[in-house]
Amino acid sequence: MNEEKETNQHEEKKKQGVTVFREYIELIAEVVIFVFFINAFLLQTYVIPSSSMEDTMLVGDHLFVDKVSYSQSLGALDRLVLPQHVIERGMIVTFSGPSEINKGMEPKNLVKRVIALPGDTIRVDRDLVYINGKLIQEPYRVFKDRPPMDVFPPDNPFRWHSEFPRQFRDSLMGTPNGKAFVVPPGHYFCMGDNRNHSFDSRSWGPVPAQYIIGKPWRVYWSYESTSYEYMTTGFIYKVKDFFKTIANFFTKTRWNRTFKKY
């Protein structure tokens, strides 16, 4: 009787162990599905790898990107439930880098500021930006290391950046301030706030609306780092960088930027 009782207790414990294990597996699966749903449809994470958006955004800012606000693929019913925003001048957007800058490489997501809308004319003359012939005020933009030298569109037709799409090079019109670029329908002209250190629409053209992913929402972590640390590839380097980050987590985390909203 005792042996039979011990056997039953053993079997019962075994069943309980299997049940607990199954519950953990189901919980993990539910969490993974939930995270996948959030990442696929609502939020996406992104880290700022360069100084092109300084001083608004810093290298090492880790962001949540709101994928709903500017979505181009929501149906009429979805738009009634999920809040939508019309893209306006001055807004910051996240988008998939145009093919002109990928050149067979893995597509990159970028963050820039919308400067001109579809149908607008834009002219950049050093530190001045004219939209539809009027000078605009840009309190967010900075010029670091050197005086602003850029002129867009270029005065000489042979000075177009090699990445700028040829089909847009004739999208020009005359203005009292010189030739201006006409933003094509369904496109947005985007530039970085750190004008001397931004590879943007002045170089590779306007951004198609369907490339826009969403808008930066909040910083969930900001870590003091350099572009080199984020741009350098290689497994060994990434492992070393991981342990370096762990060691300097408390001293290099920018706590004052945590949960900053854009």
Residue-by-residue DSSP string for 113-162: EEEE-TT-EEEEETTEEEETTEE---TT-B--SS----EES-SSGGGS-T
> Is the pLDDT at 84 greater than 70, yes or no?
no
Cβ atoms of 255 and 216 within 8 Å: the answer is: no
How many residues belong to the chain?
A: 262
Cβ atoms of 248 and 100 within 8 Å: the answer is: no
Cβ atoms of 48 and 111 within 8 Å: the answer is: yes
pLDDT score at 6: 54
Residue where the block lists tokens 């050197």: 146
Backbone torsions φ then ψ of 150, nearest 5 degrees: -75, 140
pLDDT score at 181: 97
Residue 232 pLDDT grade (very low, low, confident, very high; cuts 50, 70, 90): confident
DSSP letter assigned to residue 90: T
The residue among 174, 104, 175 whose CA lies nearest residue 135 is 175
pLDDT score at 101: 60
The three-class DSSP label of residue 134 is: strand
Residue 198 pLDDT grade (very low, low, confident, very high; cuts 50, 70, 90): very high
Mean pLDDT, residues 174-199: 93
Residue 255 pLDDT grade (very low, low, confident, very high; cuts 50, 70, 90): very high
CA distances for 169 relative to 123, 152, 198, 256, 260, angstroms: 14, 11, 20, 44, 39
| Average per-residue pLDDT for the chain | 81
Residue 30 pLDDT grade (very low, low, confident, very high; cuts 50, 70, 90): very low
> Is the pLDDT at 78 greater than 60, yes or no?
no
Least confident of 103-112, 120-129, 161-170, 202-211: 103-112
pLDDT score at 37: 43
Structure tokens given for 115: 């400067």
Q: Which residues contact 94 (CB under 8 A, 6 or more apart)?
A: 44, 46, 65, 109, 110, 111, 212, 213, 214, 215, 216
Pairwise pLDDT comparison (165 vs 106), residue with the higher score: 165
Pairwise pLDDT comparison (240 vs 91), residue with the higher score: 91
Q: Of the spans 121-125, 155-159, 174-178, 239-243, which averages the highest pLDDT?
A: 121-125
pLDDT score at 99: 67
The pTM is what?
Answer: 0.79
Structure tokens given for 82: 């999920």
> Is the pLDDT at 72 greater than 80, yes or no?
no
Cβ atoms of 212 and 188 within 8 Å: the answer is: yes
